[in-house]
């Protein structure tokens, strides 16, 4: 199978034997599975796919050393701070002297790798460029900065929130979530019951709802978000179940009185409505009769049609021209 993404097409043309190498934070590209080796990712869906294929797969947040690996390829993310974290983590987990290649699209800022590696005292050279992407290579060494140093906390909604560069809205409360919470304040029942926070991010929605006596389950496909939400709840003395999950994949047939979400619509720099569409279409299978789905989204996104086709109706609770808060209620007719 030929590589599908530009960065993998660049790797495919290298005179390299990657069969025992490990891919770090890779995109979804079936060529990588065929090329062999293992994967380290902060994306639960990537880990699930690799494990289903019988391949080695490790969590980004594991601190277990990785031995006997001939080399690793880091796919540079669009977040510069997250790329720095990956480099620090690999320096901690892989033996000194391990070959490392760093690949990324030029528009994604991969050329900044040279300065980052130089600041860490690591040499680097450009190996190749094509498909508007560049491939660098270096060797890992121990560095003085700990990967965990990138974690931070900040205050929002009278809560202390944990944040990591791999989490959406790192270090600040985004305006969409702010509108969602202010809208929920006026529409939340006195007894919220069981609530699913789908795409929990730094945990602000879960913590805010837990303060208001909701029985919280929080899920996110992003392992950094799962860790951040757990830390946020603990820091604020609140409770809730937090699970890694690709939309509803970890929930089996569980149902909730309410589903609340600020769903993502980007995969790196590419618009991707897939997760939000699955969230909406499968929501009736995870709501109790009379349960409601409340989500916030950029006003230009085509979610009203999806909501109406799934639930038969759609209500706009708030609209500030940039974001809209939608609500739908599961009727007996649409219950599954």
Q: Does domain 6-147 have CATH number 1.20.1080.10?
A: no
The topology under which CATH files domain 152-329 is: Rossmann fold (3.40.50)
pTM: 0.94
Q: How far apart are the first and last CA of the chain?
A: 39
Q: Are 147 and 24 in contact (CB under 8 A)?
A: no
- 247 Rama class: left (phi>0) / alpha (psi -120 to 50) / beta: left
Q: Stretch 110-123: mean pLDDT, rounded?
A: 93
pLDDT of amino acid 275: 84
List, for residues 271-282, the tens digit of each pLDDT value.
Answer: 556 788 999 999
Span 242-270, average pLDDT: 86
Note the pLDDT tens digit of each residue in 205-233: 999 999 999 999 999 999 999 999 999 99
Task: Give the residue extent of every domain in the chain.
Answer: 6-147, 152-329
Same fold, 6-147 and 152-329: yes
Task: Tell me what pLDDT residue 94 has.
Answer: 97
CA distance 199 to 283: 14
- Which of 25-29, 73-77, 264-268, 284-288 shows the lowest per-residue confidence on average (mean pLDDT)? 264-268
User: Tokens for 259?
Assistant: 């589903």
- Whether 320 shows a pLDDT value over 90: the answer reads yes
pLDDT of residue 266: 45
Q: pLDDT at position 272, please?
A: 53
The pairing of strands 241-244 and 99-105 is: unpaired
- Is residue 68 pLDDT above 90, yes or no? no
Per-residue pLDDT band at 269 (split at 50, 70, 90): very low
Report the number of secondary-structure helices (H) and strands (E) in the chain: 10, 18
Please write the tens of the pLDDT for every residue from 42-56: 999 999 999 999 999
68 conformational bin, left if phi > 0, alpha if psi -120 to 50, beta if neither: left
Q: Which of 201, 221, 189 is nearest to 291 (CA)?
A: 189
Alpha-carbon span 51 to 44, nearest angstrom: 10
Whether the pLDDT of residue 268 is over 50: the answer is: no
């Amino acid at each position: 199978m030929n590589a599908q993404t530009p960065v993998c097409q660049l790797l495919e043309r290298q005179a390299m034997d990657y069969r025992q190498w490990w891919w770090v934070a890779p995109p979804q590209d079936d060529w990588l599975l065929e090329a062999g080796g293992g994967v380290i990712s902060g994306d639960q869906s990537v880990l699930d796919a690799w494990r289903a294929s019988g391949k080695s797969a490790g969590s980004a947040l594991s601190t277990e050393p990785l031995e006997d690996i001939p080399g690793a390829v880091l796919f540079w993310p669009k977040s510069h701070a997250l790329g720095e974290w990956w480099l620090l983590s690999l320096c901690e987990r892989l033996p000194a002297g391990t070959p490392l290649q760093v690949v990324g699209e030029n528009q994604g800022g991969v050329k900044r790798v040279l300065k980052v590696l130089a600041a860490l005292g690591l040499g680097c050279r450009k190996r190749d460029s094509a498909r508007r992407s560049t491939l660098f290579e270096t060797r890992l060494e121990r560095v003085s900065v700990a990967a965990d140093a990138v974690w931070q906390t900040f205050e929002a909604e009278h809560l202390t929130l944990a944040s990591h560069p791999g989490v959406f809205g790192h270090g600040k409360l985004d305006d969409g979530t702010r509108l969602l919470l202010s809208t929920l304040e006026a529409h939340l029942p006195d007894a919220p019951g069981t609530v699913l926070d789908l795409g929990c991010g730094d945990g602000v929605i879960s913590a805010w709802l837990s303060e208001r006596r909701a029985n919280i389950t929080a899920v996110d496909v992003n392992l950094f978000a799962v860790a951040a939400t757990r830390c946020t709840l603990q820091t604020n003395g609140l409770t809730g179940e937090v699970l890694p999950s690709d939309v509803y994949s970890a929930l089996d047939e569980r149902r909730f009185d309410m589903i609340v979400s600020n769903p993502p619509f980007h995969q790196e720099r590419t618009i991707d409505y897939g997760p939000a569409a699955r969230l909406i279409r499968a929501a009736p299978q995870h709501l109790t009769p009379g349960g409601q789905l409340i989500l916030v989204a950029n006003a230009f996104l085509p979610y009203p049609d999806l909501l109406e086709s799934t639930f038969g109706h759609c209500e706009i609770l708030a609209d500030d021209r940039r974001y809209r808060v939608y609500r739908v209620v599961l009727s007996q007719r649409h219950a599954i």
